[in-house]
Chain A
Amino acid sequence: MISNALRRRSFLGLAGAAAGAALLPGCRKDGSSSSSKTIDWWHIQNTDPMLSVWAGLARDFEAAHPGVKVNITPLENEAFKAKLTTVTQAGNPPGLFHSWGGGVLEQQVAAGLVKEFSADASAFLSNVSQNGVKLYQLGGKQYGTPYELGMVGFWYNKELFAKAGVSATPKTWGELLGVVRQLKSASVVPIALAGGDKWPAHFYWSYLALRQGGVAGMAEAAKTGAFDGPNFVTAGAKLAELVALEPFQPGFLGAKYMANDGQSAIMGNGQAAMELMGQWAPTIEAAYSTDKKGIGDKLGFFPFPALEGGTGSPTEVLGGANGFAVGKNAPPETLEFVKFLLSPDSQRKAARGGVLPVAAGAEDAIDDPNLRLVHAALKSATGFQLYLDQAYPPAIGQQVNDSVAELVARSSTPEAVAQASPRLRRVSSPSVRH
């Protein structure tokens, strides 16, 4: 009977989760965070070095501002999303929380959960990379700020490339397919992919669509909702060419990104030759590798290759920002804290923890030569496209991820993937649009 009670409880927890969340605002209307000077801060840097860097900066801020307390909750990426959903549904977001900008921020703003940066409060943002700042603007208003702007590209194992006799990094998609064949014939796993997490696979499709249609083509699609256009079908077809070579590690469909045998661990242990991942890849590879060090100097970076016949330029990048949004009940000191976190000094400390800083004057602190490469590529980028699963409202972003996962599992066609997104848009277009 204990089991029965437990089962029932877990069922009700689920069945009532959505509904139960609606009850919570009533219980927590007291707004404890608005009166006191405690800044509740949820971030997703749950591994060192950034875990300690943030903690150190919070302590520095507390020391400089007596009476203000910073209460940090570090969360794993997916856990953060789930937990934030629950509290935002209850209408009580934390004072300061991680935000990628884009579609989710848009929904949070529409629900009045996020504090707008006033004109004088956002003055300091003039020192911050505008490509990133724009991701947190809605209707000309500032609702958050990046602390990091990064991009996705190929991270590769120089030693394994050399072992397979690959002398130069590929410049075109065709060359990349050639490299994959070469690696395979040398019995090297060409690509590590976390198929179970889906979003790492969506990078391939998004980048191919970007190379095919360019930033302009992507903007056009976002405006008209025409995700079934030829650019996207081509992207799917090109990805299918790669998938047909069977370039991924065994069991990739079930693999997670952050796990002991996940994508990052396989790269970090030198068991696969490359991965398509954002600027955080070296840090996470090290964190999940067996020796906690990763492959060190053997790791190299090259941008996503050009696509033959595509109108997009190879200097256009797919990337995104990591940043902060300020909750509606946050104490006024929170903005001060954000300003402090974005000061060149704090940004330099973050840069030493593997973050690609957004504040001008902090880039000299990037130690890692690969990250300097990424930073340079970002600086000279001719166009910037936010990750598709963040740029669009979650319902569409997740559908993109799901559909690409089917393509990678070879249970779908490029046409079906391209059509899945607009179909969903009609079914469940969110109430808020630009």
Chain B
Amino acid sequence: MDATPIPRSVSAPTGPAALSPGSQRRARARRRNTLIPFLLPALLLFGGLVLLPILLGVYTSLFKWNGFGGMPTQFVGLDNFVRLLGDDVFIGDLKRGLVLVVLSVLVQLPVALGLALLLNQPLRFRGIYRLIFFAPYVLSEVITGVLFTMVLSPTSGLVNQIFEVFGVSGQAWLADPSRVLLTMFFVVSWKYFGFHMILYLAGRQDIPPELTEAAMMDGASTWQIFRSITLPLLGPTIRISVFLSTIGAIQLFDMVWVLTGGGPIHASETMAVTLFQYGFKRYEVGYASAISVTMFLISLVFALLYQRFVLRRDTEGAVTRAGDIR
């Protein structure tokens, strides 16, 4: 212990004081020398695959460019962003995105929470239920999309066959502009509720049974236990799950693309779909880049604000004060 100075000695207050200033510098240098080779691959990947594309996206968003050959030349400043603000489809994307986020948080997550609490009870075949509910999450979005185009097909789909038994026929689930977004939300929820359920289940199992027992002994009702013990202690899990769900709704693409392509008449279009339409169908790569930059900023601002105001308590010590601890 004495012979080898520990570079990261937080708990022993005598550690740094016991070292001479010179050896402290050496320790820091050695730490740097160890850190750099470990960080380098990640930094290169992050720079090349994350930072550079973002910067290039920002750069091309300032040009009118059809994307063919070489680099863009026709500089238009912020015109693409101005056009974005007047684009009914894009404004619609924002509204639809908001609807999806609100529905996810108010409907999908409570359902997942309820199921998680239910499946935490000593039920028969509990493991099988958990498996079944989690299964949709394992499917890729594309497979889910293809599956539901069949299930929701107006002429031969399973859903309409069932409805026909009750005398309702020819329902257009994905072809009715006023209904398609809700249908889409249903499919998205079908795929993702299992994931959130597993999160909640894990969070619920982390709550020490002693707390519930003690409350029960004090005569608390089931609702009181849920309200005062389960829910607050599930807080960190819920906050993360809301975060993931929101970011997921903002970036929704694969499922929409396969299910409806954003139609009919843009009624189920999301930002990512609009971005693809402009970039790969209309060859307006400059404008598409402007959409991608906007989408990135929305996600980033949301993530930062959420971290700052909502997740602060959960990440305290791990992220926010890490520097001080070191």
Contact = CB atoms under 8 A, between A and B. Distances in A.
Interface in B80-135: 83
Contact of A19 (B260, B281, B289): B289
B147 interface: no
Contacts of A18: 57, 60, 67, 279, 285, 288-289, 292
A89 B56 contact: no
A23 B177 CA distance: 39
B197 interface: no
B216 interface: no
Given A14-B292, A15-B295, A253-B264, A23 B52 contact: yes
A12 B293 CA distance: 11
B174 A428 contact: no
B19 interface: no
A428 B156 contact: no
Interface in B210-266: 244, 247-248, 251, 253-254, 260-261, 263-265
Given A17-B279, A113-B69, A11 B244 contact: no
A19 B155 contact: no
Given A19-B53, A252-B175, A261 B155 contact: yes
Contact of A196 (B66, B176, B260, B282): B260
A14 B59 contact: no
A355 B253 CA distance: 36
A228 B284 CA distance: 23
B281 A254 contact: no
A15 B53 contact: yes
Interface string A381-402: 0000000000001110011000
Interface string B282-299: 111101110011011001
Interface string B140-179: 0000000001100111110000000000001011111100
Contacts of B156: 260-261
A10 B287 CA distance: 20
A286 to B, nearest CB: 18
Contact of B282 (A256, A398, A411): A398
Contacts of B68: 88-89, 107-108, 110-111, 113
A428 to B, nearest CB: 6
A32 B320 CA distance: 50
A430 interface: yes
A11 B285 contact: no
Contacts of B288: 18
B50 A251 contact: no
A196 B264 contact: yes
Nearest to A104: B283
A253 B275 contact: no
B244 A85 contact: no
Interface string A243-260: 000000111111110011
A406 B299 contact: no
B175 A255 contact: yes
B281 A428 contact: no
Nearest to B183: A254
A266 interface: yes
B307 interface: no
B40 interface: no
A261 B289 CA distance: 35
Contacts of B280: 81-82, 85-86
Interface in B46-84: 49-50, 52-57, 59-60, 64, 66-71, 74, 83
A167 interface: no
Contacts of A82: 280
B272 interface: yes
Contacts of B155: 249-251, 261, 266, 271
Given A394-B282, A398-B281, A427-B83, A253 B69 contact: no
Interface string A1-19: 0011001001110111111
B195 interface: yes
Given A15-B295, A113-B68, A405-B265, A85 B283 contact: yes
Given A11-B251, A253-B175, A409 B150 contact: no
A431 B175 CA distance: 36
A14 B251 contact: yes
B175 A196 contact: yes
B175 to A, nearest CB: 3
Interface in B1-54: 49-50, 52-54
A278 interface: no
A251 B195 contact: no
Contacts of A271: 155
Most buried by B among A16, A82, A261, A406: A16
Interface in A1-56: 3-4, 7, 10-12, 14-23, 25
A85 B71 CA distance: 15
A101 interface: no
Given A11-B251, A16-B56, A253-B263, 15 more contacts: A10-B254, A16-B57, A17-B292, A19-B292, A91-B69, A91-B70, A107-B283, A113-B68, A250-B172, A261-B153, A266-B155, A394-B282, A427-B83, A428-B64, A428-B284
30 contacts: A4-B244, A7-B244, A14-B253, A15-B57, A16-B292, A17-B279, A18-B279, A18-B288, A19-B52, A19-B53, A20-B53, A20-B56, A23-B56, A88-B68, A88-B69, A89-B68, A91-B69, A111-B69, A195-B175, A196-B264, A197-B261, A198-B263, A249-B154, A253-B172, A253-B177, A254-B173, A259-B149, A266-B155, A398-B277, A405-B263
Interface of B: 49-50, 52-57, 59-60, 64, 66-71, 74, 83, 149-150, 153-157, 170, 172-177, 180, 195, 244, 247-248, 251, 253-254, 260-261, 263-265, 272, 275-277, 279-285, 287-289, 292-293, 295-296, 299
